[in-house]
Amino acid sequence: MSLFLSLLSAIAAVAPPPVEGVWVDKGLPGNWAGTSAVLSEAGVDHVLPCLLYGVSPAYPSSLVPVSEAFPPDTGWANDLIAECSARGIEVHAWVILWKANRADGVFLDSLAREGRLQVDCSGDTLPWLCPTDPRNLALEEALVLELLDRFPLDGVQFDYVRFPGAESCCCQGCRDRFARSTGLSPGAWPEDVLPGGRFHREFGLWRADRITHALVLLSMAAGGRGAAVSAAVLPDRADALGCGQDWSLWGRSGVLDRIYFMNYFRTAAELDSVISGQADGLTCGTPAVCGLGTGIGRLEVSPEEARRQVETAIGAGFSGVCHFHLNQTLLRTLASAP
């Protein structure tokens, strides 16, 4: 064999095949023996069940109260993990950070009283933990470790690794921590850190740095337990940065095993028109997975269209795809895959 052919075969040998995942909302779709058989037959190699929604776990926790708005469903989680694992399908916990809108009401009130919830620039308190508050980061870390203790998981995926938008957080804690960290003194709060304010740029950098700090800490905690770590991100880089989500930096730094871009579109043509803007994410060293809206009812993605979107994503250089999210329609789509 010539050296050239040897090199080609060596490259082919090390290039991993595209991965294919599915996000799964808590409790869906049931019948995991049958569901896992369909997923396995379709080539799905990992599932991402929502096992932690902000501060509401999908199991009875020793750290936070049970919430009626997100009740534990340990039977669903155990069935999913047992059936998928038996078929060689990896299970990565889908962990939604910070959101407290499904937390127990009394617990939510206590978080508000302790000044741990975000406040937007209008002064309204939001049902989201302030991610720059060390107490909140410690709680999320403890919940992730509890989750890994409770279930045999292959990985953890962090979602909502960001602020809700550009208008938060303007809580008193953020004011104090920003001033202490930067040495700047925003006298007019929050005006000094809002668009047009004298510290707007510095505040944007600081909040992105705090989000990255949280991601690194949580990733190290999960990785220390042997879990693969990924994050789901907003695909538009400017939108993401506006929320403090610097995925380009995460990709270059190697803190994650994969980054999932949430590219939810009706057609492959629409998908194709935006993914070129993610070139930084595709070339920064961390494998990028293309999230597809193939299970979003309002997008009405047909099985043929789903196939075109998968081909478009892989053709653009993504390391795989992930379907959002599992329901009967998506199961039929996957079952019809050639």
Which residues are near Zn ion by CB under 5 A? 130, 169, 171, 173-174
For Zn ion, the closer of residues 167 and 246 by Cβ is 167
CB of 133 to Zn ion, least distance (A): 6
For Zn ion, the closer of residues 82 and 184 by Cβ is 184
> Taking a C-beta distance cutoff of 8 angstroms, is the pair 288, 256 a contact?
no
For Zn ion, the closer of residues 169 and 214 by Cβ is 169
DSSP, residue by residue, 13-68 = HHSPPPEEEEEE-TT-S--HHHHHHHHHHTT--EEEEEEEETTEESS--SSS---T
For Zn ion, the closer of residues 51 and 169 by Cβ is 169
For Zn ion, the closer of residues 8 and 188 by Cβ is 188
Q: Is the dihedral of CA 234, 240, 246, 252 positive or negative?
A: positive
- Residues 6+ positions from 19 with CB-CB distance below 8 Å: 45, 46, 258, 289, 319, 320, 321, 322
CB of 167 to Zn ion, least distance (A): 12
Q: Strand 19-24 relative to strand 320-323: parallel, antiparallel, unpaired?
A: parallel
CB of 233 to Zn ion, least distance (A): 21
DSSP, residue by residue, 233-256 = E-SSHHHHHHTT--HHHHHHHT--
For Zn ion, the closer of residues 42 and 174 by Cβ is 174
Directed axis angle between helix 303-315 and helix 328-335, to 10°? 70
> Taking a C-beta distance cutoff of 8 angstroms, is the pair 134, 196 a contact?
no
Q: How far is the C-alpha of 259 from the C-alpha of 299, rounded, in Å? A: 23
| Residue found under tokens 């705090």 | 210
CB of 182 to Zn ion, least distance (A): 15
What are the structure tokens assigned to 18, written together? 């595209």
- Written as one letter, the residue type at 174 is C
CB of 189 to Zn ion, least distance (A): 12
What are the structure tokens assigned to 213, written together? 């700090």
CB of 96 to Zn ion, least distance (A): 18
CB of 160 to Zn ion, least distance (A): 15
For Zn ion, the closer of residues 76 and 206 by Cβ is 206
